[in-house]
Structure 1
Amino acid sequence: MDVEILARIQFAFTVAFHYIYPPLSIGLGLIMVILEGLYLRTKNESYHRLARFWTKIFALTFGIGVATGIVMEFEFGTNWATYSRYVGDVFGSALAAEGIFAFALESGFLGVLLFGWNRVSPRVHFIATLGVWLGSMFSAVWIVVANSWQQTPAGYHIVGEGMDARAEIIDFWAMVFNPSSIDRLTHVWLGAFLAGAFLVLSVHAYYLLRNRHVEVSKQAFKIALVVAAVFSLGQLFTGHHSAEGVAENQPAKLAALEGHFDSLAVADMYLMGWVDKNTQEVTGIGIPGGLTFLLNYDFETPVRGLNSFPEDERPTALNAIFQFYHFMVAFGMAMIGLSLLGLYFWWKGTLFEQRWLLWIFVFAVLMPNLANQFGWFAAEMGRQPWVVYGLLRTSDALSKAVTANQVLFSLILFFAIYALLFALFVYLLNKKIKHGPDDSPMEDHRSRQEGMAAAAGQWT
């Protein structure tokens, strides 16, 4: 297999595996902040129990996320040396900012968050939880800024020529606020909040179905349901705004996402379908003129299609891009519908009597994670053949000394190690979920008394 394809597969695999964990950490951080804030306000011990329980799961996702994220930085040097030289000034600035503004904040408060429950006051612990969550949010800021610059470069000039060319920042804030960074950041943040909320919904729906930790699970479920409803609806608006930005800044990508081939014509919006690259046709269910209306608010304004671009500047894996994008949208709409359905039964006072709905929530934990993955696949594959849009082609960004056999061998090793890491994650997560939230002092005292009474009954 070609070294470029293997290098892309390896990086996609490591990034996709890593990206399971940061969104969960950001989303769980928000839930933890809410729980501790409610505990400070109400002094209700249930919120304290829930905060401690979800902190343990947060620590697990955070730890694996950090470990798997380091690998990608080494891949920049081993497989993508030309790319690293070309964007080093930009990426270096963003990663340095992440270390200063994000990692320092997270690491400064992480120890207090994990080990300070009985050593600092509840107010100080809440501040530590807030600090760790904000640190994870800031970390996402700089990673998304760096990636967004690849999509829509700004604030730079090119130094050197040919293979020695590289981008240098001339306006740091223009680089930070490049045309796509804000849209993509808000979309990523909301996707992370949904990942955390649906994990909480899944676990506590499971407890309710098994009649375990019933009271605290009802409280946690309601909190997570509100978070899921608010941010799933918000994701609809950020996604639409992001699509408008793609239409303006990366029209070839938009055409690939929607399977639009005509050079300049009214564009349909497909709900589902199959793209045939050879015949330049999409077979599926669509809304005539729907894409034109979403972009221009009329059914007449033409939209640029793939045929208006040179063939060597079009994305190649058109059907895969189309499917990933539409799966992301489908999961997003499903999360909206499921969240609103939960709110409806809550309003009617029968939420926890709907066992069929609770079972759906148990498995719905997959939806935000798959939507996050598919969204990134669509965004990165839609940018091809550019690794830096309009400036550096992916085929030119490779390391010249790395062979296909070397990349393949390391890919196999990565797959084996990451499979073990994922198995360990699932094992530890399952272990913590089976244990559940610790009993409150009152419930622990009650259970000891019931145990003593049972023992006394046996003796008599």
Structure 2
Amino acid sequence: MDTEILARIQFAFTIAFHYIYPPLSIGLGLIMVIFESLYIRTKNEKYHTLAKFWTKIFALTFGIGVVTGIVMEFEFGTNWATYSRYVGDVFGSALAAEGIFAFALESGFLGVLLFGWNRVKPWVHLVSTMGVFFGSMFSAVWIVIANSWQQTPAGYHVVGEGLNARAEITDFWAMVFNPSSVDRLSHVWLGAFLSGAFLVLSVHAYYLVKGRYVEISKTAFKIALVVATIFSLGQLLTGHHSADGVAINQPAKLAALEGHFEAEAAADMYILGWVNKEEQSVTGIKVPGGLSFLLHQDFETPVTGLNAFPEDERPPQVNAVFQFYHIMVAIGMTLIGLSLLGCFYWWKGKLFETKWLLTAFIFAALLPQIANQAGWFAAEMGRQPWVVYGLLRTSEAFSQAVSANQIMFSLILFFFVYLLLFILFVYLLDKKIKHGPYDETLVDDRPNTQGIMDAIKA
């Protein structure tokens, strides 16, 4: 493999592994805020127990997320020197804002969140939990803004020429509110909320199937199900708005997402399919004119296809972009269906007696993670051949001084280190889940042995 491909693979590997954890941290942060708020309002100890339990799991995801995120910042300098020089002013301001407004807020309250139980007043601890939660959300804000600027640059001018060219910010707020940032940020946030909600659903469905911590798990499951239902439906709206924005700002990417080749023709919407780039065809199940209808509310309105662009300005891996996008959409619809099905059985009063549905929720924790990864891959591969859309090509952005052998060696090293980290994460997560919210000898939904003893004495 050449240096460019290896550099791309290495960065894709490190960011994909890192992106397992921030969505969980954001999603679990929301759940923790809900549990603690309910505890302060009701004084019901079960909400306090749930908040403490999920704080332990949050701490695990937060810690590994921080460690794995550091590597990417070094890769900007080692593997992508030209890119770093070109976008340094833009990324520098966004990352500085993350440090000031997000990471400082997050880390400032983290100590109280983790070690403040029974040491500070409940409302103070809730404020700390909210601080960590909002800090994690603000962190996502600046990362998504920086990435969205690469997709839809705004508020800048280019100074210098050739290898010395770089983008400088002329309007900070235009850079922040670039054409895709708001849509993409809302989509990322909701994906994170779903990651946290479905992990909670999975763990407490597991307890319910096993007959452990039944009453407290019923409470947690209902709360997480409400969160999952609201945000899975909301994700459908943010996804549609994001697609509308892509149609305006990155029409070549939209054409790749749906495998649409004809320069100006009505576009079908595929449920699933396979793209043959050489024959410029898609084989699969489709809604004729469906994409045209979604974009223009008319089945016959033309949509710009890949053939309208020079060949060297089209995404090279059209089928991969198509598949990742449709995996994301399929999972999104599955999460909506599963959430609504859970609500239906809850309404019928049969939710916790329906073992097959609870079992489905156990495994559903993987789905938001897969959708998050697939969505990012579709967005980043669909932007190619540009690393900054319309301004800087990926082939021009990597470091010329780094050899393929050096990247391959570090990639292999990262693989084994990250594999060990993932094994450690799974082991510790499994250990915390098996231990449960509290010692089973103290479970308040076990048979009332004191009542039995009183009856015997009587």
Q: TM-score, normalization: structure 2?
A: 0.97
Contact 1:32 1:129 in 2 (8 A): yes
Shift of 1:300: 1.9
The one-letter code matched in structure 2 to 1:192 is: A
**Distance in 1, Cα, partners of 2:329 & 2:443:** 44
Q: State the partner residue of 2:433.
A: 433
Which residue number in structure 2 is paired with residue 313 of structure 1?
313
SS of 1:437's partner is coil
1:37 maps to: 37
1:37 maps to amino acid: S
Q: Does 1:53 align with 2:49?
A: no
After superposition, the C-alpha distances for 1:135-185 in whole angstroms (9 at most, x for unaligned) are 000000000000000000000000100110000000000000000000000
Q: In 1, distance between residues paired with 2:198 and 2:445? A: 32
Change in CA separation of 1:121 and 1:404 when aligned onto 2, cut-off 3 Å: same
Amino acid at match of 2:215: E
Match of 1:345 in 2: 345
Q: Note the C-alpha offset of 1:88.
A: 0.2
> What's the counterpart of residue 153 of structure 1?
153
Q: Provide Cα deviations, 1:361-406, integer angstroms capped at 9, x if missing partner.
A: 0000011000000000000000000000000000000101000000
State the distance in 2 between where 1:69 and 1:191 align: 19
Which runs of structure 2 are paired with 1:190-209 in the superposition (5 Å)?
Answer: 190-209=190-209
Residues 112-143 of structure 1, C-alpha deviations (whole Å, 9 max, x = no match):
00000010011100000000000000000000
CA contact (8 A) 1:24 1:196 kept: yes
Distance 2:429 2:13 in 1: 22
Contact 1:262–1:307 (CA under 8 A) maintained in structure 2: yes
What are the within-5 Å matches in structure 2 for residues 191-340 of structure 1?
A: 191-340=191-340
After superposition, the CA RMSD in angstroms is: 1.5
Q: Which residue of 2 aligns with 1:458?
A: none
Judge conservation of contact 1:36–1:48 (CA < 8 Å) in 2.
Answer: yes
Write out per-residue CA displacement over residues 325-361 of structure 1, whole angstroms, 9 at most, x where no aligned residue: 0000000000000000000000011100000000000
Q: Is the contact made by 2:213 and 2:443 (CA closer than 8 Å) also made in structure 1?
A: no
Cα deviations by residue, 1:87-134 (Å, 9 ceiling, x for unpaired):
000000000000000011001100000000010011100000000000
Pairwise CA distance, 1:242: 0.2
On the 8 A contact 1:49/1:439 being kept in 2, the answer is: no
Gaps of 5+ in 2: 454-458
- 1-structure distance, mates of 2:316, 2:351: 47
Aligned residues of 1:155 and 1:174 also touching (Cα < 8 A) = yes
Q: Structure 1 residues 160 and 445, CA, compared in 2 at 3 Å: closer, same or farther?
A: closer
Among the aligned pairs, what percent are the same residue?
78
Per-residue Cα deviation, 1:291-341 (whole angstroms, up to 9, x for no partner): 000000011210000000000000001111000000000000000000000
Looking at structure 2, the residues matched to 348 and 445 of structure 1 have their Cα atoms a distance apart, in angstroms, of: 23
Matched letter for residue 276 of structure 1: N
Distance 2:431 2:59 in 1: 14
Other structure's SS at 2:279 match:
coil
Which residue matches 1:70? 70
Partner letter of residue 130 of structure 1?
M
Tell me the TM-score normalised to structure 1 length.
Answer: 0.96
* Letter aligned with residue 36 of structure 1: E
Change (3 A) 1:44 1:316: same
**Structure 1 residue aligned with 2:103:** 103
Q: SS of the counterpart of 1:274?
A: strand
Q: CA deviation at 1:211?
A: 0.5
Q: Matches of 1:329 and 1:419 in 2, distance apart? A: 28
In 1, are the aligned partners of 2:152 and 2:178 still within 8 Å (CA)?
Answer: yes
Q: Is the 2:215–2:445 contact (alpha carbons within 8 Å) kept by the matching residues of 1?
A: no
Corresponding residue number in structure 2 for 1:422: 422
User: How many residue pairs were aligned?
Assistant: 451
What is the match of residue 381 of structure 1? Answer: 381
Would the alpha carbon gap of residues 445 and 286 (structure 1) be closer, same or farther in structure 2, given more than 3 Å must change?
closer
Note closer, same or farther for the CA distance 1:229–1:448 as it changes in structure 2 (3 Å cut): closer
Distance 1:214 1:356 in 2: 17
What amino acid is the match of 2:396? D
CA gap of 1:443–1:85, structure 2 versus 1, over 3 A, is: same
Q: Aligned partners of 1:85, 1:438: CA distance in 2, in Å?
A: 52
**Partner of 1:400 in structure 2?**
400
* Aligned mates of 2:157, 2:447 — CA distance in 1: 69
Question: Separation in 2 of the partners of 1:375 and 1:288?
Answer: 24
Q: Aligned partner of 1:376: which letter?
A: W
C-alpha separation in 1, matches of 2:446 and 2:258: 60
Q: For residues 40 and 95 of structure 1, what CA distance do their matches in structure 2 show? A: 35
Question: In 1, Cα distance between the equivalents of 2:380 and 2:113?
Answer: 35
User: Is 2:121 aligned against 1:118?
Assistant: no
Q: Give distance in 2, aligned partners of 1:117 and 1:441.
A: 22
Q: Which amino acid aligns with 1:100?
A: I
Letter in structure 1 aligned against 2:432: K
> Counterpart in 2 of 1:129?
129
Q: 1:338 to 1:446 in 2, by over 3 A?
A: closer
| 1:442–1:370 CA distance, 2 compared to 1 (3 A) | closer
The alignment partner of 2:399 has SS state of coil
Q: In the aligned structure 1, how far is the partner of 2:101 from the partner of 2:336?
A: 33
Contact 1:49 1:440 in 2 (8 A): no
Query: Partner letter of residue 128 of structure 2?
Result: A
TM-aligned CA deviation for residue 444 of structure 1: 7.7
Change (3 A) 1:119 1:448: farther
- 2:262 counterpart letter in structure 1: D
Counterpart of 1:89?
Answer: 89
Is the contact between residue 315 and residue 382 of structure 2 (CA under 8 Å) also seen in structure 1? Answer: yes
CA distance, structure 2, for counterparts of residue 443 and residue 336 of structure 1:
33
Q: 2:233–2:336: 8 Å Cα contact kept in structure 1?
A: yes
Q: Show structure 1 runs of 4+ deviating over 2 A.
A: 439-450
